[in-house]
Amino acid sequence: MSKRKLLVANWKMNLPPEGVEHYCARLNDLEEIERLALVIAPPFPFIHEVRSSVRGSVAVGSQNCSDRDDGAFTGEVSAAMLREAGAAWVIVGHSERRSLHGETNSLIAMKARAAISAELTPVVCVGESSEVRNAGHPEDFICGQLRESLKGFEAGSLVVAYEPVWAIGTGRHATPEIVSAAHQALRQQLTELNLADALLLYGGSVSPENSAELAAIDAVDGFLVGGASLDSSRFLSIRQAFAG
């Protein structure tokens, strides 16, 4: 049987220029690809709309959640509230949250645990900067990030995304050699943490032009797609990389 695969659209703080309704309608026209799950992660206020516009086999995710359950945390949204709004997944520890909002590995670990308590599947992101890569041994760095970002995480459905910071939004994706080395190291780390069932995604300038080459890498279980996920035609053409 073919392996389980996952394709996640991270719209960031953007909406598809063609409109949410048109985008969702295009997803509803698809023939299913066996063992491939699709997740759309829109900005918070659109979670409910996307959930009610796509058919059951397409899931909805959030791009962030609070580490707390409730209380005086102005501007925050709890994992349970996201679940209530229709999300089943949540991205935590994206590099933009780490660099622009000062999120630490320990905060990310708390968010991942909050997600599990609310029955959301966390997509935990790790990835090195170009400085770290140039200094050597980037795999040690990302495995360290993974261990710290999963502290106290015992069980539950989990996805990890390897997103090198220098590849995000730059049009410069990681080579298959870099992706393979990173994914092998992360896979071994997950096994040591007794989390061998986790899916391992690649993210960073995935496009219709490079998706077939990247999807062919054995250690890649799917993609986290930013810019190219905002256009349904480009996103669906990436999806074809997992057909057959």
Q: Provide the annotated active-site residues.
A: 94, 163
CA distance 224 to 8: 5
Are 53 and 34 contacting, i.e. CB atoms less than 8 angstroms apart? no
For the bound state, the minimum distance from the C-beta of residue 214 to ligand PGA, rounded and expressed in Å, comes to 11
For the bound state, the minimum distance from the C-beta of residue 25 to ligand PGA, rounded and expressed in Å, comes to 23
Exactly one of 42, 61, 127, 203 binds ligand PGA (CB under 6 A); that residue is: 203
7 is an interface residue for ligand PGA by CB under 6 A = no
225 is an interface residue for ligand PGA by CB under 6 A = yes
Which residues are CB-contacts of 98 (< 8 A; sequence separation ≥ 6)?
104, 108
Q: Which is nearer to ligand PGA, 93 or 138 (CB)?
A: 93
Helix (H) or strand (E) holding 20: helix 20-28
Which residues are CB-contacts of 212 (< 8 A; sequence separation ≥ 6)?
241
Q: Which is nearer to ligand PGA, 80 or 89 (CB)?
A: 89
226 is an interface residue for ligand PGA by CB under 6 A = yes
14 is an interface residue for ligand PGA by CB under 6 A = no
For the bound state, the minimum distance from the C-beta of residue 94 to ligand PGA, rounded and expressed in Å, comes to 6
CA distance 119 to 80: 8
